[in-house]
Amino acid sequence: MRINLPPIIPYGVGVMLVVFGILRAKYLGAPRALRAADDDAEPETESAPVRGKEQRRHLRMGVVWVLLGLFLVVSTYIQTHRR
């Protein structure tokens, strides 16, 4: 079975996946900053913000979304330019 969609639809979905994947990885996958209460508890120790389990999951899923979007855009381009 072959479905004929205008190429703008897969291109649009692919671009949205790439953009929202990048945003998800950047903002939701970023390490959390230390709270002021945490800074007061240990003023002599210089600790970097840590990335929790949720942030790693958002980072991985953001990368998956970007790869899926790129695959959709590239496969649509190949399909529309096939002879």
pLDDT at 49: 66
Burial of 51 (0-12, 13-18, 19+ CB in 10 A): middle
pLDDT tens, 11-57?
999 999 999 999 999 998 887 765 555 555 555 566 666 678 888 89
Residue 60, C-beta contacts closer than 8 angstroms, at least 6 positions apart:
29
Least confident of 15-19, 66-70, 77-81: 77-81
Question: Is it the case that residue 60 has pLDDT exceeding 90?
Answer: yes
Q: What is the DSSP string of 26-76?
A: IIISSPPPPPHHHHHH-SS---PPPP-HHHHHHHHHHHHHHHHHHHHHHHH
Question: Is it the case that residue 81 has pLDDT exceeding 80?
Answer: yes
- What is the distance between the alpha carbons of residues 78 and 46, in angstroms, rounded to a whole number? 52
pLDDT at 2: 82
